[in-house]
Amino acid sequence: MSFTRLRLPLPGMELGHVNVYLVKCSDGYGLVDVGLATYDSALALLRGLKQLGVRPGEITKVFVTHFHADHITLAQFLAEVSSPDFHIGEGEISRVASSFDDLAKMYAEEYKRHGAPAEVAEAFLKVHPMSRFRKSFEDVWRLQWRSVRDDEGLDCGLRAISTPGHTPGHTVYAAAHGIFTGDHVLPKITPNISWYPIPGFNPLKEYLKSLKKVATNKRGYPAHGDEIGNLALRTEELVRHHEERLREVMAVLREPMTTYQVAQKISWDAGPFEQFDVYNKIFAIGEAYSHLLYLEEAGLVRRVEKDKVYWLPAERRDNLQNIPLP
Ligand SMILES: [Zn+2]
């Protein structure tokens, strides 16, 4: 096997761990994702490398799948103990705001406009990883990043595949034996597909298109959980999940509703919406919003802007049974 999985802890995060993959490169080693900027994660990374007989200085390349805290924030730490080239999808650099205060405020305002109570939106500002790991994010954003294009051949036997959806510039890295999927395809849970403050960005549509790009009979090496035996089968399950959710959103939308009300009404694997903590409520609102945006572009729902944004079924409901998939 030409790679090794390092399972790093994620203290304070429900996911529990993130997988970081060590790959062999022409001039040393590469890491796919680096982990969360905490003492426990940094220690686990150094110990893992030591057990494998790899010195930190031998890490010459880092390939990050996306800008979420559990994948990227340990990058500055790595830059201190080694001097790797840092790679990330070009969409992640150009389309994600680097001012985290502004970004967090944009989210809070948008979610209030979509019916979230002020206390949910405001609490979100405090618990979001962008706030909790703000210092690390600021450090990481100052690093010299090499932007990676779709289908670009890279060192370490990898090829980048641009897979926007979970984030605007999410990128997976294909090797001969399988694909390092980041959060794009996970074995047990469905990645959160949420709204982004990017005009015209239809995250669910992008995500479903991106799933097709990895629907191969290869293995998947995800950022959370164990190896995926067959990516085509798992991506098919994920498409079905979103198709069902789109139908459910249409089914509950019998009268004008805000995104928040839609999120309250639809069923969630994790339990009833009202029992969610603030963090998961925000995830759920974002998830409902991305499905409503998809249905809006498909011409099946429309919005009315008043004091808040309300959604209505579009007049033409004849094609309800055939929600078009990209
Ligand atoms: Zn993520």
pLDDT digits (tens, 9 = 90+) for 109-153: 999 999 999 989 888 877 777 778 888 988 998 899 999 999 999
Question: For residue 135, what are its two tokens?
Answer: 């210092």
State the distance from the centre of ligand 1 to the C-alpha of 72, rounded, in angstroms. Answer: 10
pLDDT tens, residue by residue, 221-238: 999 999 999 999 999 999
State the distance from the centre of ligand 1 to the C-alpha of 166, rounded, in angstroms. Answer: 7
In this predicted structure, what is the pLDDT of residue 288? Answer: 97
Q: Which residues contact 270 (CB under 8 A, 6 or more apart)?
A: 276, 280
Please compute the mean of the pLDDT values over residues 291-304 and round it to a whole number.
Answer: 96
State the distance from the centre of ligand 1 to the C-alpha of 317, rounded, in angstroms. Answer: 35
pLDDT above 80 (res 95) = no
State the distance from the centre of ligand 1 to the C-alpha of 186, rounded, in angstroms. Answer: 10
Residues near ion ligand 1 (Cβ under 5 Å): 68, 183
ipTM exceeding cut-off 0.90 for this assembly: yes
Q: Which residues contact 238 (CB under 8 A, 6 or more apart)?
A: 185, 190, 211
- For residue 36, what are the CA distances in angstroms to 20, 24, 62, 132? 10, 22, 14, 11
State the distance from the centre of ligand 1 to the C-alpha of 308, rounded, in angstroms. Answer: 29
Q: d(Cα 210, Cα 36) in Å, to the nearest integer?
A: 25
Q: d(Cα 168, Cα 90) in Å, to the nearest integer?
A: 9
Domains identified in the chain and CATH numbers: 3-313 (3.60.15.10)
Q: d(Cα 216, Cα 233) in Å, to the nearest integer?
A: 9
State the distance from the centre of ligand 1 to the C-alpha of 68, rounded, in angstroms. Answer: 5
Share of the chain above pLDDT 70, in %: 95
State the distance from the centre of ligand 1 to the C-alpha of 154, rounded, in angstroms. Answer: 22
State the distance from the centre of ligand 1 to the C-alpha of 36, rounded, in angstroms. Answer: 12
State the distance from the centre of ligand 1 to the C-alpha of 183, rounded, in angstroms. Answer: 5
Please compute the mean of the pLDDT values over residues 70-83 and round it to a whole number.
Answer: 95
State the distance from the centre of ligand 1 to the C-alpha of 95, rounded, in angstroms. Answer: 16
Q: Which residues contact 119 (CB under 8 A, 6 or more apart)?
A: none
pLDDT tens, residue by residue, 173-187: 999 999 999 999 999
Give 37-74 as a DSSP string. Answer: SSHHHHHHHHHHHHHTT--GGGEEEEE-S---HHHHTT
